[in-house]
A and B are shown apart, each in its own frame.
Chain A
């Protein structure tokens, strides 16, 4: 099935340029080569069935035909050696510490602005900069409790951070489900490696949520707040609530009374201490933010301000994952931690800067242009695949609202063998590790490897036709 496999001139996770397998992929290569076509297809069908039975789906917007889809799963596991993971782990820990210090700083003393490390107008023009959070203290000074940072690998195999998701990152339920399916479908392959466990994620998440309760009681009341069944990540919201053994609620299930938050239950109101919210800031409290929101809880911000309720993530973290501020993350690391970044950024042009905008407009064909406040692969232009008309349209958009755009050179993501019909072909992948930040930083080994299933495509978002695969971080050899 590996016959005719082409490395395509990019970094291949499994094969060296010579066509040799990388040593840590030897067992995978051997076992998959020994499986015959029928056996492999049977396992693939088993996996598909498992996902369908579990109801693991996501929702695609802007698409008239379908709403819920199965997230395509690719059976070939991605393997990350222990030493590589160690670097990633250190780099991500450093990054979340800096991003969190940045959030605290911009909402309090603003040293980083006063010392002109970041142009203040970049902050004050950020859509997600929540002035309502200025001078508001949050529990333990932690803003970003859950972060999903997207990593990619360049031609030489270096890991680069493509973006940080510090608002309501989703996808961790797939990490857990992918693992459970892999163990069932390819048990002997799994056992030929010592793979680090991911199953304690819900437990760790519950722990950091418990730490946020204002009064350290034995059993603080924690809830997961979802926008509801039509949200693309509803499956995950219910999954995490079930795994943690806490209630899944919608805004209408909560009520604020005298600046405390209560949950409506059949036995009357019950006080809530911590909300793991999967609702964007905009919709959280119609009194404070979007007045037309009926998903939120009126008065929640006042309860939050009083310290009577803890929110994870904190309100206002969108300022840290604004794509136009992303180029400043290395400077944040230097400023707050006096360290050099362990993981590098992808070079980025900020269209708000006159010189950089000029360059971007002249080189649209070679660049990826992204809207600074969109996520999920919406609102972007892939220069090399675009038509002249699309480029002209984007150029207009950029000129009209430069602050809203950044551009990056097209990075050739690394590729990984994926099952395509009856054989393996290289498909581009990224990696989204999940970082939990409480009393200590806990990074679940691995994360979600997303695959661009279309040949040659560089966009891995599930909403844009991506799939996923299990990611195995290996135990250190002793």
Chain B
């Protein structure tokens, strides 16, 4: 599927700020089932952008704006060709083993951390899923476990905005039974890890297909599970399906904290409000004027002047321990 995706972020500040430093993870990954044909990044106020790969192989674009400003606009446009991975979970040959040992490079995806917290209620849920699968087969298969997790989340949890925040640990969705794609993803990552199955967080976009999918209007999040016979397999706990050609993968990580589309710090008292709009479109042909990667400047103003520096808590942090 040939997709064009426009991801617009508007950051507005209630007062002038300065010295913004930002990092973006918005460029789709280059992968076996996904080719990034083009990535265009427009930023205002005008700034030089530096890109690099982080330790997980995600593309990061970093920039800074030192002069006073009160808004930042970022428009990332990608053209991506996706190929359906054609995975059949019920046909996977892998048998589940509680004590299986994996290559050490998967260690990070087996450990709990950040919002993916290990709690008794998570353990309870994962053992009930394991029991339901083990009841049907003496030696449960990984594929059946993944399907059972997807089904369980689909039936027991409700998609609802405003219950959780981007910083919510999975204890919240376990308690309220409600959340958004990020919570569903963290939950499934936690379930897999509690059964000693490596799992990672994927952030990206979903192209709406007859409005069949939940949470399509925004950036999306889903899960990748490591299956020894196949490698990483993407599944979407929010929509109870395999991540197929409608999914555009931008960044992978241990949890959301590794992959936020944008993060930054700035100086000033102004409060930040953020508006995000994602628009996707299926293309019939590859556009002829396509550039592999390009940055451009948006016409957003900066202002002259100076503001007082923030010096709070400084003493406490200065007391950081010395050896």
Residues of A within 8 A of B (CB): 59, 61, 113, 120-121, 124-125, 131-135, 148, 165, 167-170, 227-234, 252, 255-259, 278-280, 282-283, 286-287, 291-295, 298-299, 302, 305-306, 321, 374-376, 378
B23-54, CB < 8 A from A:
23, 48, 50, 52-54
Instruction: Indicate whether A257 sits within 8 Å of B319 (C-beta atoms), given known contacts A286-B265, A294-B310.
Output: no
Question: In the bound complex, do residue B323 and residue A255 qualify as a contact, i.e. CB atoms below 8 Å apart?
Answer: no
Residue numbers in B under 8 Å from A121 (CB-CB): 104, 107
Bound-state Cα–Cα, A148 to B315, Å: 26
Smallest CB-CB A-B distances: 7 pairs: A120-B104, A228-B318, A134-B55, A230-B318, A299-B21, A375-B323, A298-B21
Instruction: Indicate whether A376 sits within 8 Å of B323 (C-beta atoms), given known contacts A231-B318, A287-B21.
Output: yes
Residue numbers in A under 8 Å from B111 (CB-CB): 124-125
Residue numbers in A under 8 Å from B263 (CB-CB): 287
- Nearest chain A CB to B306 CB, angstrom units: 11
Residue numbers in A under 8 Å from B23 (CB-CB): 287, 302
Bound-state Cα–Cα, A275 to B259, Å: 29
Residue numbers in B under 8 Å from A376 (CB-CB): 321-323
Bound-state Cα–Cα, A294 to B311, Å: 8
Instruction: Indicate whether A258 sits within 8 Å of B48 (C-beta atoms), given known contacts A120-B107, A124-B108, A302-B62.
Output: yes
B46-69, CB < 8 A from A:
48, 50, 52-55, 62, 64, 66
Question: In the bound complex, do residue B55 and residue A124 qualify as a contact, i.e. CB atoms below 8 Å apart?
Answer: no
Chain A: CB-nearest residue to B312: A294
Residues of B within 8 A of A (CB): 19, 21-23, 48, 50, 52-55, 62, 64, 66, 104, 107-108, 111, 263-265, 309-315, 317-323
- Nearest chain B CB to A282 CB, angstrom units: 7
Question: In the bound complex, do residue A170 and residue B19 qualify as a contact, i.e. CB atoms below 8 Å apart?
Answer: no
Instruction: Indicate whether A228 sits within 8 Å of B66 (C-beta atoms), given known contacts A131-B55, A170-B323, A376-B323.
Output: no
Where chain B touches its partner, the secondary structure class is mixed
Question: In the bound complex, do residue A252 and residue B322 qualify as a contact, i.e. CB atoms below 8 Å apart?
Answer: no
Question: In the bound complex, do residue A287 and residue B323 qualify as a contact, i.e. CB atoms below 8 Å apart?
Answer: no
Question: In the bound complex, do residue A257 and residue B66 qualify as a contact, i.e. CB atoms below 8 Å apart?
Answer: yes
Bound-state Cα–Cα, A295 to B52, Å: 25
- Nearest chain A CB to B260 CB, angstrom units: 11
Bound-state Cα–Cα, A252 to B310, Å: 9
Question: In the bound complex, do residue A169 and residue B317 qualify as a contact, i.e. CB atoms below 8 Å apart?
Answer: no
- Residue pairs across A and B with Cβ atoms less than 8 A apart, 22 shown, are A113-B104, A120-B104, A120-B107, A124-B104, A165-B323, A227-B318, A230-B315, A230-B318, A230-B319, A232-B319, A252-B311, A255-B66, A279-B320, A282-B320, A283-B320, A293-B317, A294-B313, A295-B320, A298-B19, A298-B265, A321-B323, A375-B321
Bound-state Cα–Cα, A292 to B317, Å: 9
Residue numbers in B under 8 Å from A279 (CB-CB): 320
Question: In the bound complex, do residue B64 and residue A299 qualify as a contact, i.e. CB atoms below 8 Å apart?
Answer: yes
Bound-state Cα–Cα, A430 to B50, Å: 48
- Nearest chain B CB to A398 CB, angstrom units: 19
- Nearest chain B CB to A272 CB, angstrom units: 15
Chain B: CB-nearest residue to A116: B104
Instruction: Indicate whether A287 sits within 8 Å of B55 (C-beta atoms), given known contacts A227-B318, A231-B322, A294-B312.
Output: no
Question: In the bound complex, do residue A256 and residue B104 qualify as a contact, i.e. CB atoms below 8 Å apart?
Answer: no
Question: In the bound complex, do residue A299 and residue B311 qualify as a contact, i.e. CB atoms below 8 Å apart?
Answer: no
